[in-house]
Chain A
Amino acid sequence: MPFFFSCKKKDDAPVHKNSLKLNWNHQFNQSEIREDSLSFLNYFGDTLSISRVTYFLSGFKLTGDDNVYTSPHIALVDLFGSKNLSFELGDIPDGHYHTIEFMFGLDSAINVFGSISNTLEHNEMFWPSSMGGGYHFMKMEGHYLDSGRTKGYAVHIGKNGHQISYSFPVQLDLPNHSKMNFDVKLEEWLTNPYNYRFSKDGPFTMAYDNLMQLIVNNGKDVFDVKSIQ
């Protein structure tokens, strides 16, 4: 690829391009998350931990006064693997942008196993074709206390229809800004509108369309723009 760039003829009227760093700050009830620490409470007061959070983000789009920017970037965020907790969108033209949009999961057109770059990490998110095919959009796993006994849970979603689109009004000026900080409120997956209780609803979602849909419906408030710098 460097060859191709070096051979590319310079544009007579170059458009200044910017990069925008996106930071994803994960929390549960506004608390920092330690791996598999039984220290969080759900809506019902049940204690739970989080031992794994891995999910896809894609379809990044900035809409400005004069232009629209879209990015092909796909990020597989891995909280405890410390992967893609920050990443950059590149080649964004100067300008004022009033909206940022992105998708949780992968568009159905690319939710086909092998249709995105086949890295080890992507490979490990595969969703069996006999269950719909494509990729897990999210694996959130951990333990919870049920009548004093530690049990496991696994919130997995990834079927077409589980994509969630987010759109936030922003005041982003490039090149003056370079960072956007997001809160990722993991407790939201388990509440609002449905107060999900592992001991009652079931600790494993993947085989149950109705359970996965409850989680998806709760996902609308998981992400939020915290600040722009």
Chain B
Amino acid sequence: MVKMFLMLNPYSDMSKNLKKLVLSLLVLSGLLLYACKKTNNEAASSVYVFEIPEGFPQPNTDPNNPMSNEGIELGRLLYYDTALSYGGPQSGLACASCHFQEYGFTIPAQNVLPHCNLAWSRNFLWKGEFEGTLETIMQFEVNTFFEVDVQHLIARGYYQEKFKKAFGTTQITDTLIAKALAQFIRTLVSSDSKYDKFTRGEVQLSASELRGMDMFFSEKGDCFHCHGNAMFTDNDFHNIGLITKSQGDMGRYLITGASHDVGRFKTPGLRNVGLRQSFMHDGRFKTLKEVIQHYNSGVKHTEYLDPLLDKPPLGLTESEISDLEAFLLTLTDPIFISNKKFSNPYKP
């Protein structure tokens, strides 16, 4: 079985020593940043050591927002707090209102991109409206999406102390709210699925799951070109042949104005994909099987179709489709969806 693991596991040759080195350098950088950043009026927030799961690359971080335990705790409070948009356009809603932990931080029946492994994302939202780090998109969420009114947070009574602990100031600003949210969301790491345990040699996959994995990581299924790394997304945009007739289907073109971006949407990560009941940017598919069927025989040819998808139908049999689905279900991470560190702090 070890031999099979080495043959089939695409991350089997990951250097553990390199990972330790990278982690050490990150910790060292964090400490240096922390040491340089500290000022007289700054509270002593404790450095958070971001652990990179085996096989994952270095995360996309903001050097101006070093992570601390207090910053993450504050971010978690804000994430679940409906005061975030009190009186605003999303009144009565918090981040968590559309990102349920039990479904991998999304809403199963809506096309909401999940808050999962965004520490490794360089672009955000379906059309890539924002590029950069989590801090960039959170600034938009705070200022524009929620239109956070700081006074409502102050009225809670406990936030000023939390900001003091996290950022060394009782003055609550939109930027610090965005930074705290970014810190918390960056901790939402899913790396304990059955697939991960298999890559670590802790469990075995079933015969069907193994066949599905082999298909996923080969030209037969050809999923890996866009979904083939630890995050199961290439951080890129693709036109996957969903037909681009309506304005809503124009995709990234609406952001860049470049003709080659017509119909291109962000590649979503596939972790916990088995918990979703809505797929693609417009939620047109309701089951994983429908999604696989699309790639198998439903890709519509246009001049904008991604080159990687401009192939004859895959020709997968019903049995092979079931195998591929079985593999995708191994990406469900029960620890991620029940981890109390990510849960609603307002609930006991």
Contact = CB atoms under 8 A, between A and B. Distances in A.
B129 interface: no
A151 B310 contact: yes
Nearest to A131: B218
A154 B308 contact: yes
Interface string B130-150: 000000000000000000000
Interface residues of B, number: 45
B310 A126 contact: no
A176 to B, nearest CB: 36
A119 to B, nearest CB: 6
A122 B57 contact: yes
B228 interface: yes
B9 interface: yes
B58 A119 contact: yes
A59 interface: no
A204 B9 CA distance: 24
B10 A130 contact: yes
Interface stretch (B11-19, B174-182, B289-297): B11-19
Interface in B231-250: 231, 234-236
A141 B57 contact: no
5 contacts: A114-B19, A120-B57, A123-B231, A154-B307, A207-B218
B217 A130 contact: yes
Interface string A1-17: 00100000000000000
B22 interface: yes
B7 to A, nearest CB: 6
A146 B244 CA distance: 22
A35 interface: yes
Nearest to B216: A128
Contact of A118 (B7, B32, B57): B57
Contact of A130 (B8, B57, B234, B236): B8
Interface in B1-33: 6-15, 18-19, 22, 32
B14 A126 contact: no
Contacts of B19: 114, 118
A31 interface: no
Contacts of A3: 32
B214 interface: yes
A152 B310 contact: yes
Contact of A113 (B8, B10, B310): B10
Contact of A128 (B224, B305, B306): B224
Interface string A77-117: 00000000000000000000000000000000000111101
B15 A114 contact: yes
B322 interface: no
Contact of B260 (A51, A124, A154, A203): A51
Which interface residue of B7, B258, B310 has the most chain A CB atoms within 10 A? B310
B207 to A, nearest CB: 16
Contacts of B58: 117-120
Nearest to B13: A112
A126 B10 contact: yes
A-B CB proximity, top 6 nearest: A152-B307, A152-B310, A114-B14, A36-B260, A207-B219, A128-B217
Interface string B275-312: 00000000000000000000000000001011111110
Given A113-B11, A129-B8, A153 B229 contact: no
A57 to B, nearest CB: 20
A134 B15 CA distance: 12
A129 B10 contact: yes
A196 B55 CA distance: 37
Contacts of B22: 117-118
A143 interface: yes
Nearest to B259: A36
Nearest to A141: B307
B214 A130 contact: yes
